[in-house]
Amino acid sequence: MSDNKIKITINGTETLCNREDTILKAAKRAGVHIPTLCNDERLEPYGGCRLCIVEVKGVARPLTACTTPVAENMEVVTESDTIRKMRAHVIELLLSNHPNDCMRCEKTGDCALQNLSYEYGVDGSRYEGEKWDLPIREDNPFITYEPNKCILCGRCTRICNEVVMAGTIELTGRGFNSMPDTAFRKPRTLENCEFCGQCVSTCPTGALTDRKGRGKGRSYEMKKVKTTCSYCGTGCNFYLNVKDNKVVKVTSAYEAPVNQGNLCIKGRYGYDFIHHPDRIKTPLIRKGDKFVEASWDEALELVADKFNELIKKYGREKVGGFSSSRCTNEENYLLSKWVRCAIGSNNVDNCARV
């Protein structure tokens, strides 16, 4: 056994885990599910929702799995009658101030709170009292905020401060009036928000949703196509959510090695060009003062003729190629090879140089 590995027991089964793991991480590695609402692997452990509580032998009280580090020969129980009752009680408290409109909620079918309510048999009828009755906020073009559906897990504020480091939103107010919001509850603008949609990607309920995709289909109706963003050379991955052969929205690919679910405004919301009526779908060549449609063979033959004219008139050393970091590595390599081998020039440049 390596120095970084230790042995613990989860639900009676011995497993190896990393010394720096939390119980939640160790359980996930072992294939054991522990419910949570406030945890996101992109964020620091928080322990706010209290749903990941587990029993540890020798400790008199339940511990939060997301904040408790593992220890050599630790014995953990993730499921027991007591734990299930405590988790159900937490869910009941959350539902006591939560709208019961799952039938028309944008997040239905993809809501962590809804799934846990089903798993633990909780319907939210046990507690009665005051509920939020706040208006839906659509004061920007990208994000819809429904504060009544917020469970104060803090994920949106934490990802904005820990990952994006924009500080756009923070928990405001006190007690029953606490909620994530902008300073002085001003509308989101480019002056105070990057519109990266990170808060939307981490929200476990329907409190924060993509405005551009609202009402265009349930998550289970959409086909998810994993692709790579073409706006820069970083190589971020995400999922195109497709319904009826149209891209409805973009969602995060949390397993992506480059960005781990994180995206910028262009990657998350810059997909309008896909179905834009002005999008060029066929090659165009200039004839007189107008561009006319042409076949690929016709367009490529014209380009080759123009290059030959330039080489004949000015020489090979006067001709080069300029590529883009929005292209793939393979495409940039092919351009470089074509310029060097077909044209015979070493004049190759790329916008990333500047």
Tens of pLDDT, residues 24-64: 999 999 999 999 999 999 999 999 999 999 999 999 999 99
Name, in order, each residue with C-beta under 8 angstroms of 243's C-beta and a sequence gap of 6 or more: 216, 217, 221, 222, 223
Q: Which top CATH class is 5-79?
A: alpha beta
Q: Please report the pLDDT score of residue 326 as a whole number.
A: 78
Which pLDDT band, with edges at 50, 70 and 90, does 234 fall under? confident
Beta bridge partners of 11: none
Q: Residues 160-171: pLDDT tens digits?
A: 999 999 999 999
pLDDT band at 293 (very low <50, low <70, confident <90, very high): very high
Q: Which of 226, 169, 173, 241 is nearest to 202 (CA)?
A: 169
What DSSP string runs through 259-289? TTT---HHHHH--GGGG-TT---S-EEEETT
Q: Where do the CATH 2.20.25.90 domains begin and end in the chain?
A: 218-279
**Which residues share a beta bridge with 63?**
54
Mean per-residue pLDDT, 296-306: 95
What CATH superfamily classification does 218-279 receive? ADC-like domains (2.20.25.90)
Residues of the chain with CATH 3.10.20.740: 5-79
Q: What integer pLDDT is reported at residue 2 of this predicted model?
A: 64
pLDDT band at 230 (very low <50, low <70, confident <90, very high): confident
Cα 52 to Cα 27, 64, 65, 78, 117: the distances in Å are 11, 5, 5, 8, 15
This model's pTM is above 0.75: yes
Sequence-distant (≥ 6) Cβ neighbours of residue 54 within 8 angstroms: 23, 34, 62, 63, 64, 65, 68, 76, 77, 78, 83
pLDDT at 1 over 60: no
Tell me: the pLDDT tens digits for 237-249? 999 999 999 999 9
Residue 130 confidence class, pLDDT cut points 50, 70, 90: confident
Give percent of the chain with pLDDT exceeding 90.
89
pLDDT of residue 126: 87
- CB within 8 A of 309, min separation 6: which ones? none
The answer to whether domain 106-184+197-215 has CATH 3.30.70.20 is yes
